[in-house]
Amino acid sequence: MLLLGFMQERENVLRIFREAETAIEKGDNVRLKTLSDETIHTASITQDADNLAVAVMIYSLSKILERENYRKLKGWGEFYSLIKKSVGRILVALEKNDEGEISRSMDVFRSAVEKLSGNLKEYIADVFQKARINKASRIYEHGVSMEKTAKLLGITMWELAEYSGQKRTADESPNHPSSAKQRIKIAMEIFG
């Protein structure tokens, strides 16, 4: 994977990972969410899959750390250790401009879930999927088409439409004039 997005946004991504490393150590899931949101703006402009991967990774970590009951499940210690190690390796690789190591370290992060078993594996895999859908919704809100957004994040347009529809329904009153317009827009993007 050629990490042009990382190299173009190297300083910003480096800052995000430095702050993420500190937030992980402190268990500060709120700061992790904020860091993830900061990457979404850039990712929506560049439509760069690498920046999107960073946003999903950081957001997933925030959701995982938020759920304290996960820490009681079998495999948590090993998973947490692997995540911290992976973030540290990504930081070192970014500092050295080592694209190959960045890619390998991101893969280690992704594969950490595969090494889990039982409920923890299912729960964390679900968090990652929901994080992709959440971040896709944020990209879509920035004006990127539903089809392109779904493709960038590896989700279906149905998943994105369902999440976007639920979010808008919760955010808007039923009589809000844009509610019907938004539903029509989503339908047109799916069927158009």
Residue 168 covered by a domain:
no
Instruction: Give domain status of residue 104, yes or no.
Output: yes
Confidence of residue 4 (pLDDT cuts 50, 70, 90): very low
Q: What is the pLDDT of residue 181?
A: 66
**pLDDT (tens digit, 9 = 90+) per residue, 11-66?**
888 899 999 999 999 989 999 999 988 887 777 777 777 778 888 889 899 999 99
Evaluate if residue 175 carries a pLDDT over 50: no
Residue 157 lies in a domain: no
150, part of any domain: no
Q: Give the residue-averaged pLDDT of 108-132.
A: 84
Is residue 163 included in any domain, yes or no? no
**Which tokens go with 21?**
């490393």
- Please name the amino acid found at residue 107: D
Span 52-111, pLDDT tens digits:
888 888 989 999 999 888 889 888 998 899 889 889 999 999 899 888 888 888 888 777
The full 3-state SS of the chain, as one line of letters, equals: CCCHHHHHCHHHHHHHHHHHHHHHHHCCHHHHHHHHHHHHHHHHHHCCHHHHHHHHHHHHHHHHHHCHHHHHCCCHHHHHHHHHHHHHHHHHHHHCCCHHHHHHHHHHHHHHHHCCCHHHHHHHHHHHHHHHHHHHHHHHHCCCCHHHHHHHHCCCHHHHHHHHHHHHHHHCCCCCHHHHHHHHHHHHHHHC
Does 151 fall in a domain?
no
Q: Does residue 133 fall inside a structural domain?
A: no
How many domains does the structure of the chain reveal? 1
Residue 113: pLDDT band (50, 70, 90) is confident
| 175 in a structural domain | no
- Measured between alpha carbons, how far is 63 from 126 in angstroms, rounded to an integer? 11
Q: 16 lies in which domain range?
A: 4-128
Closest to 130 measured CA to CA, from 32, 64, 60, 71: 60
- pLDDT the model gives residue 23: 95
